[in-house]
Amino acid sequence: MERAIVRWIVGMALAGLFSGLVFAKDGGSGDADSGKMPDDWYKKSVALVVGIDGYENEWPRLTSAVSDAKRMETELVRQGFTVKTLFDDKATKQEILRQLASVLPTKVGPNDRFVFYFAGHGQTESLVHTQLKGSYIMPVEGYIVPADGSRKGGDQWHTYLSLSELNVSLGRYRGKHVVAIFDACFSGLWPVEPASAFTDNIDILKLAVGGNSLSVITAGGAGEQAREGLFTNALIEGMQGRADLNNDTYMTFGELALYTEREVTRANKRQRPRHSMLFGGGQMVFGPRLKAPQPPPKAVLPAKGKGKPALDWVYSRPAKISFTKSEITVAQYWACVVEGVCTPPEAGRSSNWVPNIDSANPVNYVNWEQAGSFCKWVGGRLPTEKEWLLEATNGGDRDSDKTREFPWGNDPVSCEYAICRISGGLGFSAAGCGTNSTWPVCSRTSGNSVSGLCDMSGNVWEWTSTEESRERISVGGGWFDDNPLVFKGGRRRVNPRMGSADLGFRCAASGKPAKGKP
């Protein structure tokens, strides 16, 4: 679902609206190499996160605002924030204002930071008489729409929360750094002065942490079409480390804003986020960045004649069969080659076979016959497309309330759930979530299916036994795909004699498994 973006210009009038801000003294510069944010940078971190899907009163329901807000909550908690959340019917105008203007300002001190995040509908009012505010013309007023906002009989402006009201509320915070994030259907805040990323200054962290600031970032600008979920996904990935433009392990607001603008515009040419430093010379700092996940310990390879590798079999209630929990790894397949049962995969670019024969990455470049031979050797078979789909969607019935759009649920595809490339730049700018390759199996357990199977979406496509026009169906998408779907576009026909860098397999077996056996 696309979000319409309408124009709202922020002028020098903001100086008056935010005149109540009280700035703290400069903080410490910290040590970016310590692996932990220094204690003297911020004493406390507080956030208010609002997400609304369940609109009524003639406002259409949204599909991902709440899930976006929950993922932002998770990331802020990881960053050390205490987060107050308001979702759906809890996010009334009165309650948003009560928290934002009365409750939370008392919890934010001079050496603290505060984030306000909103995902939901917005609206813009064209004023009959434009007003000159300072040296800027203010022809419109922007609003966010709370859960009880109404446009029955037309827009009921008094039921919305105006940006002027929000400005006054944010002006009550004494925090060193205050950031407002709007992922909503109203206009982007037109920046007065775009924020500097500080990427060329050796004292980046001293400058950022030492000064005070009030900053705003929005999903887009005048007349643009914002893709739902795109902006927040890019923000979260940036906060996790992708926005560390100068590689010092921390992300300033400016770095985050520049990264988000770059990634969103790569994925959607009709949308460009806007950011602005409304007050102060400092910038909020996020981090330290997440370290790349470490691969599991190397598998112990059996010598010839020592038997088969241990496999983790999982029973699927939706499919009523068992699957291997993960895609078959290089180490597991190598055991079959050592026994003389399987033949080595063909060579190719991005092959996991050479030199990493003990790798926990999924084996790739195996053709359909090779995959079937391995599964037969371990007492199983390749699943049918239908069996695979039953597990991946929790039933396969698109009309059922229990059915999942993706193995993990209905949240949009991101590198939080699957090893993939999203829209050529959402979250990560390269395939394989930034590595341009597969990852060790089960690296994204938050993307597991209802029965606990890993990587059913992304990492590598998986062979099935289903035949169609003399070809075989593979399912699930891989590390090179922009959007590894399940229901729509999540299947492809492949020549059974061919393998590829993004094609592997998992095995299936009838009935419930004994431990380590089908």
By mean pLDDT, which of 26-30, 158-162, 220-224, 427-431 is the weakest? Answer: 26-30
Q: CA 37, CA 80: separation in Å to the nearest integer?
A: 10
**pLDDT for the residue 148:** 94
Q: What is the pLDDT of residues 401-430, one digit of tens each?
A: 677 888 998 888 888 888 887 543 333 345
Q: CA 142, CA 126: separation in Å to the nearest integer?
A: 9
| C-alpha distance from residue 489 to each of 139, 268, 477 (Å) | 45, 20, 9
**pLDDT for the residue 31:** 37
Query: Could you give the domains of the chain?
Result: 2-286 (3.40.50.1460), 294-518 (3.90.1580.10)
Instruction: Tell me if residue 260 falls in helix, strand or coil.
Output: helix
Looking only at the bridges linking them, the beta strands covering 113-120 and 45-51 are parallel
Looking only at the bridges linking them, the beta strands covering 285-286 and 161-162 are unpaired
Mean pLDDT taken over the chain: 78
Integer distance in angstroms from the first to the last C-alpha of the chain? 43
pTM for this predicted structure: 0.54
Q: What is the pLDDT of residues 285-305, one digit of tens each?
A: 998 876 544 444 444 444 555
Q: What is the pLDDT of residues 193-243, one digit of tens each?
A: 444 444 444 355 666 676 788 888 888 765 666 677 788 988 988 898 888
Contacts of 325 (CB under 8 A, 6+ apart): 312, 313, 314, 442, 452, 453, 454
What are the beta bridge partners of residue 227? 2
What are the beta bridge partners of residue 265? none
User: Between residues 400 and 335, which one has the greater pLDDT?
Assistant: 335
Q: What is the pLDDT of residues 123-156, one digit of tens each?
A: 877 766 554 444 444 456 778 899 999 999 998 9
Contacts of 5 (CB under 8 A, 6+ apart): 185, 186, 187, 188, 219, 220, 221, 222, 223, 224, 225, 226, 271
Single out the residue of 180, 150, 155, 152 nearest to residue 166, CA to CA.
180
**pLDDT for the residue 290:** 66
Place 185 in a pLDDT band, splitting at 50, 70 and 90: low
